[in-house]
Chains A and B, each alone.
Chain A
């Protein structure tokens, strides 16, 4: 009897130990980024600044490869583990695996994703623990920005618009729910953001359908609320900025990149996508097309918008404002302010007050951007020059469609007070190819032909002035394709260039301290700490690389 009791208590002890090992209390995400990486941006502020400093300016030159792992998505068993298969469709994506999002690190396990695929990987040696594969119905397979985690569960969006809930320990599916309509040609790539008992998900669409953010119950997958980025019925605010209700309801504003979260105000602060049709905009009317191309603050409990600031009124180039804003508390004009910093795809940088949405700074951080008229309007917004939309004979526009920056996340270091962003200066000719005055749907109606790259840069911006304090131009002969950015308390900045190097910079001046040519870095470098060792983790296409000091 006593032996049996001992066995039971031992078993219980073991079980509790195990569950603790793969269990993320949502309160943990409230802590500033340090040992683990429990959410898309590492923490809710989206600074991508880690308090870890074992690796620093003095020893980074000794950074060594700890392990590497090549991932191969699809239905076949992988890495000696049996693949768990789910999904509603018949299909397998024909393209290769490309990791273009964040990787979670919780209790020594990495959770990695690519479209239709999720893996658990041992963070110490790069061994695959389980692999989950989703059979797709289709949809645009452009990327997957990562997983969300709540207690012992993981959440993944699929290109064919499901939110899939997995058991973090085994990779087995617990449930999946449809989050947007496949027949309306939505596709879903965002990393779900867990805030308390909310799982926030956004989707994408290129066919004139409305953008929205939804919140789901992490236990059941039941929807808690939906917030539309465009007016959906008569009387909705912002409707006056559209030609009519039908135009607004087809006005886009997709929320496909994760935002930041301010626990104090319970506001989720994120960017909305471009209005649609993206280029031929006559059908949208002359107005600003709210709330597309804006930074919006949504209450996570109610799904109601507290404030907005539009960074591209009436955009006509598919330059969304989805780029993750960074929440910073700091001095501005002699007093402490709570701010949100945002570098937009359109080439303009903004400092906002995150309690009210008040604009504090606007600057043009791409010297070549030429789509707006000289100066700013009273609200501090760039003013679109309609002559630079497109032309039958071509209009020479900077930037090209990729934008000055895109989804690869920026970073902010409190050590330097600087905001870091990958910047790409470029020109393209935009030809109007649809002369029907009603225009085209979606991304149609124009053809964009690239002309020139004027350089890819790492730019450091002072949030107080919007001015670029320093920038490093990568000397590569190639164009864009820059990675996201990580800064650390070791006074280091990690970023990928456009020639396949992972580089460590001095964030105060852009001096290069270390590099390794691992291939085109396809996400943003990350860091975590295990057993007293700090690791630097980056993905290049289908391969993960973990570096450490020995």
Chain B
């Protein structure tokens, strides 16, 4: 069994580059697992197991083995996770545990039930099964009023936002885009350029798009895309103008309800 597992692992092992649990970044990117999923069982075994499970176990443990009122989630149970082919599950079935009664299954039946329970994918990055139909949950009218109050000084439904929701079909992408255009998960996902002006001690001035900045150097691109890196010292003046600053300033102002309402309103701009 160990060799089998090992061989399987060799094929399936795609190790996670950036897990969220320990300090990774969230938000997108495919999540791969460092743990092998079990090899697919014979469909006939799974089907026989499902029948047995449905009549004997599902009432308490749920049709999907994730537990229910009064009975635990089997998928994350130590016995189930350590079990390969029913050899550990059998004891619980035959002897019962706490409020669970004993069951008289044959070895073959236990193996079938194990095959069914093991057919579910199990991992820390649990895939959602019952996804909401839409993220648009707000009130468009209230959203329009909020838009007029907070956004209309820079944006208009008939102007720059004409057909906004038609341009960005996915409402979640649309919402991320109006919250902060150019952010990851927004469209376009390229940052909107930040402008910078650098004034040297001599009075010489450079102006352009900010490419990179730290405490020591600043790099800017002129309209013809030539880049210039300037060393920063006490006599060099650097003025950065982030066009997204008004959007960033609003992040501490919005209530979630405002965001949902504005999204519902912008969804009408098709």
Query: Among the listed stretches A8-16, A205-213, A327-335, which one makes contact with chain B, having 4 or more residues with CB under 8 Å of it?
Result: A205-213
- Which of the residues B18, B21, B247, B248 comes within 8 Å of A204, measured between beta carbons? B21
Q: CA A368 – CA B24 in complex, angstroms?
A: 20
**A95 at the A/B interface (Cβ < 8 Å)?**
yes
Nearest-neighbor residue (CB-CB) of A400 within chain B: B26
In the complex, the answer to whether A394 meets B76 with C-beta atoms within 8 Å is no
Nearest-neighbor residue (CB-CB) of A210 within chain B: B78
**B140 at the A/B interface (Cβ < 8 Å)?**
no
In the complex, the answer to whether B254 meets A393 with C-beta atoms within 8 Å is no
Q: Across the interface, which residues of B come within 8 angstroms of A402, CB to CB? A: 23-26
**A157 at the A/B interface (Cβ < 8 Å)?**
no
- Which of the residues B13, B18, B72, B76 comes within 8 Å of A209, measured between beta carbons? B76
Q: Across the interface, which residues of A come within 8 angstroms of B126, CB to CB? A: 277, 434, 440-445
In the complex, the answer to whether B26 meets A442 with C-beta atoms within 8 Å is no
Chain A 331-353 interface 0/1 with B at a Cβ cutoff of 8 Å (1 = within)? 00000000000000000000000
In the complex, the answer to whether B34 meets A187 with C-beta atoms within 8 Å is yes
Overall SS of chain A's interface: loop
**A220 at the A/B interface (Cβ < 8 Å)?**
no
Taking CB atoms and an 8 Å cut-off, the chain A residues in 489-548 that contact chain B are 497, 499-501, 503, 512, 515, 517
Q: Across the interface, which residues of A come within 8 angstroms of B180, CB to CB? A: 451-452
Least CB distance, B74 to chain A, in whole angstroms: 11
Counting contact residues on chain B (CB < 8 A from A), the size range is 35 or more
Q: CA A480 – CA B132 in complex, angstroms?
A: 31
- Which of the residues A181, A394, A442, A512 comes within 8 Å of B123, measured between beta carbons? A442
Q: CA A246 – CA B130 in complex, angstroms?
A: 24
Q: CA A283 – CA B75 in complex, angstroms?
A: 15
Q: Across the interface, which residues of B come within 8 angstroms of A90, CB to CB? A: 6-7, 9-10
**A433 at the A/B interface (Cβ < 8 Å)?**
yes
Known: A393-B136, A512-B215. A140 touches B27 (CB 8 A): no
Least CB distance, A284 to chain B, in whole angstroms: 12
In the complex, the answer to whether B81 meets A183 with C-beta atoms within 8 Å is yes
In the complex, the answer to whether B215 meets A441 with C-beta atoms within 8 Å is no
**A403 at the A/B interface (Cβ < 8 Å)?**
yes
Q: Across the interface, which residues of A come within 8 angstroms of B127, CB to CB? A: 444
Nearest-neighbor residue (CB-CB) of B129 within chain A: A436
- Which of the residues B67, B128, B138, B263 comes within 8 Å of A440, measured between beta carbons? B128
In the complex, the answer to whether A206 meets B15 with C-beta atoms within 8 Å is no
- Which of the residues A183, A370, A392, A512 comes within 8 Å of B137, measured between beta carbons? A392
Chain A 77-92 interface 0/1 with B at a Cβ cutoff of 8 Å (1 = within)? 0000000000001110
- Which of the residues B26, B128, B184 comes within 8 Å of A401, measured between beta carbons? B26
Q: Across the interface, which residues of B come within 8 angstroms of A318, CB to CB? A: 20-21
Chain B 202-220 interface 0/1 with A at a Cβ cutoff of 8 Å (1 = within)? 0000000010111110000
**B135 at the A/B interface (Cβ < 8 Å)?**
yes
In the complex, the answer to whether A91 meets B179 with C-beta atoms within 8 Å is no
Nearest-neighbor residue (CB-CB) of A512 within chain B: B215
Q: Across the interface, which residues of A come within 8 angstroms of B66, CB to CB? A: 436, 438, 441
In the complex, the answer to whether A444 meets B125 with C-beta atoms within 8 Å is yes
**A469 at the A/B interface (Cβ < 8 Å)?**
no
- Which of the residues B78, B137, B215 comes within 8 Å of A474, measured between beta carbons? B215
**B102 at the A/B interface (Cβ < 8 Å)?**
no
**A464 at the A/B interface (Cβ < 8 Å)?**
no
**B197 at the A/B interface (Cβ < 8 Å)?**
no
Q: Across the interface, which residues of B come within 8 angstroms of A94, CB to CB? A: 14-15
Q: CA A277 – CA B180 in complex, angstroms?
A: 30
Q: CA A145 – CA B213 in complex, angstroms?
A: 30
Taking CB atoms and an 8 Å cut-off, the chain A residues in 389-414 that contact chain B are 391-396, 398, 400-403, 406-407
In the complex, the answer to whether A392 meets B132 with C-beta atoms within 8 Å is yes
In the complex, the answer to whether B19 meets A206 with C-beta atoms within 8 Å is yes
**B241 at the A/B interface (Cβ < 8 Å)?**
no
Q: Across the interface, which residues of B come within 8 angstroms of A428, CB to CB? A: 26-27
Q: Across the interface, which residues of B come within 8 angstroms of A401, CB to CB? A: 20, 24-27
Least CB distance, A483 to chain B, in whole angstroms: 13
Known: A141-B15, A143-B22, A407-B23. A445 touches B128 (CB 8 A): yes
In the complex, the answer to whether A142 meets B256 with C-beta atoms within 8 Å is no
Nearest-neighbor residue (CB-CB) of B179 within chain A: A451
Q: Across the interface, which residues of A come within 8 angstroms of B34, CB to CB? A: 138-141, 159, 187
Taking CB atoms and an 8 Å cut-off, the chain A residues in 241-295 that contact chain B are 246, 250, 254, 256, 274, 277-278, 283
Most buried by A among B15, B78, B216: B15
In the complex, the answer to whether A451 meets B176 with C-beta atoms within 8 Å is yes
Known: A207-B122, A394-B256, A429-B175. A434 touches B129 (CB 8 A): yes
In the complex, the answer to whether A443 meets B128 with C-beta atoms within 8 Å is no
Nearest-neighbor residue (CB-CB) of B138 within chain A: A393
**A225 at the A/B interface (Cβ < 8 Å)?**
no
Q: Across the interface, which residues of A come within 8 angstroms of B124, CB to CB? A: 185, 205-208, 441-444
- Which of the residues A207, A391, A449, A474 comes within 8 Å of B27, measured between beta carbons? A449
Q: Across the interface, which residues of B come within 8 angstroms of A209, CB to CB? A: 76, 78
Taking CB atoms and an 8 Å cut-off, the chain A residues in 443-483 that contact chain B are 443-445, 447-452, 454, 474-477, 479-480
In the complex, the answer to whether A515 meets B256 with C-beta atoms within 8 Å is no
**B16 at the A/B interface (Cβ < 8 Å)?**
yes
Q: Across the interface, which residues of B come within 8 angstroms of A189, CB to CB? A: 22
Known: A318-B20, A441-B124. A91 touches B216 (CB 8 A): no
**B159 at the A/B interface (Cβ < 8 Å)?**
no
Least CB distance, B240 to chain A, in whole angstroms: 7
Q: CA A90 – CA B6 in complex, angstroms?
A: 7
Q: CA A181 – CA B20 in complex, angstroms?
A: 20
Known: A142-B19, A278-B21, A401-B24. A477 touches B213 (CB 8 A): yes
Q: CA A192 – CA B260 in complex, angstroms?
A: 47
In the complex, the answer to whether A431 meets B13 with C-beta atoms within 8 Å is no
In the complex, the answer to whether B131 meets A95 with C-beta atoms within 8 Å is no
**A174 at the A/B interface (Cβ < 8 Å)?**
no
- Which of the residues A438, A445, A499 comes within 8 Å of B67, measured between beta carbons? A438
Known: A142-B18, A278-B21. A477 touches B26 (CB 8 A): no
**B103 at the A/B interface (Cβ < 8 Å)?**
no
In the complex, the answer to whether B130 meets A434 with C-beta atoms within 8 Å is yes
Taking CB atoms and an 8 Å cut-off, the chain B residues in 69-121 that contact chain A are 72-73, 75-76, 78, 81-82
In the complex, the answer to whether B9 meets A246 with C-beta atoms within 8 Å is no
**B235 at the A/B interface (Cβ < 8 Å)?**
no
In the complex, the answer to whether A450 meets B214 with C-beta atoms within 8 Å is no
**A227 at the A/B interface (Cβ < 8 Å)?**
no
Nearest-neighbor residue (CB-CB) of A436 within chain B: B130
Least CB distance, A145 to chain B, in whole angstroms: 10
Q: Across the interface, which residues of A come within 8 angstroms of B215, CB to CB? A: 474-475, 497, 501, 503, 512, 515
**B251 at the A/B interface (Cβ < 8 Å)?**
yes
Q: CA A143 – CA B16 in complex, angstroms?
A: 11
In the complex, the answer to whether A431 meets B21 with C-beta atoms within 8 Å is no
Q: CA A316 – CA B214 in complex, angstroms?
A: 34
9 pairs, A vs B, C-beta closer than 8 Å: A137-B6, A142-B18, A206-B124, A250-B73, A393-B259, A427-B251, A441-B73, A477-B213, A515-B216
Q: A393-B138, A451-B179 are in contact. List 16 more A-B contacts (CB 8 A).
A: A93-B15, A138-B34, A141-B15, A183-B81, A205-B124, A206-B19, A207-B76, A246-B73, A394-B135, A396-B179, A435-B132, A444-B125, A451-B183, A452-B183, A475-B214, A497-B214
User: A-B pairs with the 5 shortest C-beta distances?
Assistant: A444-B126, A206-B124, A442-B124, A448-B26, A401-B26
